[in-house]
Amino acid sequence: MKNASCILLGWWVVLWIAQPGVSAAPPPPDPLYTERAGSPDGMGKWFLGREIAHYMTHHGAPWLERPEREEEERPRLLLDALALKPGAVVADVGAGSGYLTWRMAERVGSTGKVYATDIQPEMLLILGTNMTARGFTNVVPVLSTPRDPHLPTNALDLIVLVDVYHECEFPYEMARGMASALKPGGRLVFVEYRGEDRWVPIKRLHKMTEAQVRSEMALHDLEWVSTGRELPRQHILIFRRPTASPGR
């Protein structure tokens, strides 16, 4: 019955986000998570009908820096879509080796700031080495936890997660923490391999559909803004923290 409840709730959330004039997020499921047998690539832990994938350890850092990533993911197109401005305060959550971090730091400039978070101290050491080698001083490494991004409250113009959210062990708590870290009007951006496209050469649990991301974000005080397909293999799903509290 728990599985059936999750399925019903998932459908209800999808229907809810399609309704005009809705001003408050629905309650989260109870229980938040269920556990059952799943894929070898997953934790056996499910949220709104989605099995959460295992995260990459710091031993996979070289894969994050692979030369072909430039062609496969086109980070320049992503940064153009994000429209980062000099002086912006932003975060790269699940930053890993800092592949996107330094590119964001370059765009926001010396008057801006990039919080680079990761749950693995080993990754932050790699990231710090890479930032030092490139001469960036506007990057703040942050050791987060699976439940909390450890970002300052009401402080960020933008938060981006690149191929990270599907691996968050506690996605509801993480999204809640990120939403509260945004300034009113601040954007939360998910870059995920497109689960709708079978040809994308990524394991199933490491892809997400637009509908799944939107259903999960509908549980928070966030507004969907747009879903971009500028990238060869990934969605760019943009949400925004409302400038006024729900119901006002």
Range 163-186 average pLDDT: 98
Looking only at the bridges linking them, the beta strands covering 89-93 and 113-118 are parallel
Q: Assign domain 59-240 to its CATH architecture.
A: 3-Layer(aba) Sandwich (3.40)
Helix (H) or strand (E) holding 93: strand 89-93
Q: What is the pLDDT of residue 245?
A: 57
Confidence of residue 206 (pLDDT cuts 50, 70, 90): very high
User: What tens digit of pLDDT does each residue of 96-128 get?
Assistant: 999 999 999 999 999 999 999 999 999 999 999
Range 8-12 average pLDDT: 40
Boundaries of every domain in the chain = 59-240
Position with higher pLDDT, 1 vs 197: 197
Q: What is the pLDDT of residue 26?
A: 86
User: What tens digit of pLDDT does each residue of 135-147 get?
Assistant: 999 999 999 999 9
Q: What is the pLDDT of residue 7?
A: 38
Q: What is the pLDDT of residue 24?
A: 72
Crossing angle of helices 210-217 and 171-181, rounded to 10°: 70
For the chain, the average pLDDT equals 90
pLDDT at 134 over 70: yes
User: What tens digit of pLDDT does each residue of 15-74 get?
Assistant: 334 443 345 788 899 999 999 999 999 999 999 999 999 999 999 899 999 999 999 999
DSSP string, 203-225: -GGG-B-HHHHHHHHTTSS-EEE
Q: Maximum Cα–Cα distance for the chain, whole Å?
A: 55
> 104-130 burial by CB neighbour count: b if 16+ within 10 A, else e?
bbebbeeebbbbbbbbbeebbebbeeb
Give bridge partners of residue 188 from the DSSP assignment: 159, 239
Range 202-218 average pLDDT: 97
Q: What is the pLDDT of residue 185?
A: 97
